[in-house]
Structure 1
Amino acid sequence: MTFFRSSKSPPLKLKSFKKDIAPIGFFFDIIFSESFKIPILPVPLRIDKLTNGEPTVIIFPNTNELDELCSEYNLNINYNLLYSIGLNNLITHAKIKYKEITLKTLNPKKINEWWNSSKNLSSKSIDLMESFTLIFSEFIRVFGYKIKNNLKFNDEVFRKILIEYCDKIIKHFRFKIEENIFKMKQENLIIQEKLYIEKKKKCYPLVHEISVLDRSNNKTYTREFVPYLIYDDILNCFYYNKSILKKELSGKMINLKLYEDFNIISSVFSFNRINYKHHSDLHNLEKLKLNKILEVYKDLKI
């Protein structure tokens, strides 16, 4: 028997562009995934910057708005834990996909290089911040409603509420994509840019520039990103979630209880109100230690 090898060798590294800052955000997913022990989802799920040890910038929601909303529902979000889990999920996913593509194990030095070059970065994209604030806000409302009405996670009423939640997010991002709207700040003005151009009934995503602050040296520089790809990934995620919710009647794939069990989201009444404060200092990711991120599931004893 003769075996033939593919003439195409696996790549030595994944292609990436130096000017691309590759923004990434995180949110509470509602569908159980075997890939992540706790389904805090990184979006988009791209791994090129991480595996090459190159910087990316984290998109944060408006925590002042979220704090006010959490207060209405007597909820607290442990953002340090949320982002530690989300970053761990991203790293785990990158390791798996990198090995599938290159047939090699990802060098831990690349993870260190990526984290050290990314943790001090911040950027204020109005549209991205508003979009992730919306996702967080709608999730908080759903979670707060569940607690207020003492609904079970496998309750049929709660499943319908989750479908409505997906519909709201889908409606928002479909509108943005169909209307081809992306807000950006130019000096002191808010301007509207396009997400893409259309030619011969084909869509071509546009590259936009974004200002990035490096807090380690207090310098600001300009980098590029493609917002359409982020919004398209979010839209696909919620379409998928809705499809699962509509056909998965047993509730086995709805895994929100993990967020309560591990105090990622907790009721203010579950601990001393005097010691209660919101964790709004998201923009200091450098306080998160990489070794703690890598060990977060071990610390949670999962």
Structure 2
Amino acid sequence: MFKKTQVKFKTYKSDAAPFFFYIEIFPFDTSRYISPYVSSLIKTIEKNPVVPIPMRVDRVFNGDSSILIRPREPISFQISEDKLAVINPYHFLLNGIKNVIYFSEIRSSETLYKSISRKNVISWWEKTRFLYGNLNRLEEDFSSFLRAYLHTMVRNYVEGDDLISAAIQYCQIIENICKKRMEQNRILAEIDGKESSVKLYKVKNQTYYKKLKKVSEKQYHPELVDIEIINYSSSNWPKVTTAKNEVEIDVKKYIPLLFYDDLQECMLLNLQYLEENEKILLNPSTLIEKKIISIIESKKFNDDFKNKNLWWKDFSKIKPELFLDKMFQSPL
């Protein structure tokens, strides 16, 4: 009997599939990609530092929705007495979505031997951009991760200070937060206005025999946690996260441990690279040139500026089809 060909990634209806982005300090490793086509794709985004976590390539390929984590306030940090560094949500997400789409094509080409379809990619984004997942702790932590980049890498760049020490500090801040969350083994879940503290994982003692000797070890099992999902496709985005009138509300599951475990691993690896001093850092100037980060006078950080840099919108100006057009023009 012939094995049935896999035509799409396996997903679960109960999985909310939340994701966000962090700012990477090193280019992607292009050496592991052998295929000329895949190699050309990874080289296109090699120095794009807005990296998705987790990689929701399954949802993009299948055309299913995922949940974009949304900080509740503009992301900024005072980098000098009179200057402020601010993350521009539109340009940040524009570069992040580009990476998501390219990685989806890379993964599907390697795993399914298929390309992503224009229809499914657009379907994924049109469903995703209207959804809000009530993930207060993750919103706060990812806001802290972005502020850490502004506080370390951007500040040192603007002041002309050492970027290596800034990169070490940046990675340590994120690694420490992830470590703390996993050690606490607690995260808040908010459903229908009611908060509860739930575990990230369960610990079980597993006993088995190895070379005729009895061995006991701890095993960690990630927990599925409820997430309240609000669909704003039938109404305008409200000004506050608590507005839920006349909108579709659903409850699904997600694995919060994925975020902290994966990101900690990335930061520990980066710290190792920094110690070995064998990789070239991505300069923060690129993010400033691409308008992902703005450097402004502190006095200009007024209500009008803040409103223009909110994450609380549908980002209708982000058009994934533009990335698809360029991607499929890549030489084989």
Q: Do the structures match in fold with TM over 0.5?
A: yes
Residue 163 of structure 1: CA displacement? 0.6
Aligned 8 A contact 1:10 1:103 in 2: no
Equivalent-residue separation in structure 2 for 1:190 and 1:16 (angstroms): 28
SS in 2 for 1:209: strand
- Picking from 259, 281, 302, the partner of 1:230 is 259
Residue by residue over 1:152-173, the C-alpha shift from the partner in whole angstroms, topping out at 9 and shown as x without a partner, is xxxxx32112112211211111
Q: Which runs of 5+ in 1 are unaligned?
A: 1-6, 152-156
- Picking from 274, 283, 286, the partner of 1:258 is 286
Q: TM-score, with normalisation over the residues of structure 2? A: 0.77
Equivalent-residue separation in structure 2 for 1:9 and 1:169 (angstroms): 43
1:197 is the counterpart of 2:202: yes
Q: Which moved more, 1:103-112 or 1:73-82?
A: 73-82
* Equivalent runs, 1:80-159 vs 2, <5 Å: 80-151=90-161, 157-159=162-164
Residue 296 of structure 1: CA displacement? 11
Residue 73 of structure 1: CA displacement? 3.9
Change (3 A) 1:25 1:234: same
Change (3 A) 1:164 1:197: same
Equivalent-residue separation in structure 1 for 2:187 and 2:301 (angstroms): 40
SS in 1 for 2:18: coil
Q: TM-score, with normalisation over the residues of structure 1? A: 0.84
Aligned 8 A contact 1:41 1:86 in 2: yes
Q: Which runs of 5+ in 2 are unaligned?
A: 31-41, 206-217, 235-246, 328-332
Equivalent-residue separation in structure 2 for 1:225 and 1:89 (angstroms): 22
Aligned 8 A contact 1:95 1:106 in 2: yes
Residue by residue over 1:209-236, the C-alpha shift from the partner in whole angstroms, topping out at 9 and shown as x without a partner, is 1111110132111111111112111111
Which residue is equivalent to 1:287?
316
Aligned 8 A contact 1:125 1:210 in 2: yes
Residue by residue over 1:21-63, the C-alpha shift from the partner in whole angstroms, topping out at 9 and shown as x without a partner, is 1000112211122532311010111311111111001012232
Equivalent-residue separation in structure 2 for 1:100 and 1:296 (angstroms): 20
Q: Detail structure 1 runs of 4+ shifted over 6 Å in the superposition.
A: 295-298
Equivalent-residue separation in structure 1 for 2:163 and 2:230 (angstroms): 41
Change (3 A) 1:296 1:109: closer
1:184 is the counterpart of 2:212: no
Change (3 A) 1:292 1:106: closer
Q: Which moved more, 1:162-171 or 1:183-192?
A: 183-192
Residue by residue over 1:233-268, the C-alpha shift from the partner in whole angstroms, topping out at 9 and shown as x without a partner, is 11111112211111126x623333211222221321
Residue 132 of structure 1: CA displacement? 0.4
Cα RMSD over matched residues?
2.9
1:241 is the counterpart of 2:270: yes
Which has a greater percent of helix?
1
SS in 2 for 1:111: helix
Which residue is equivalent to 1:76?
86
What amino acid is the match of 2:24?
D
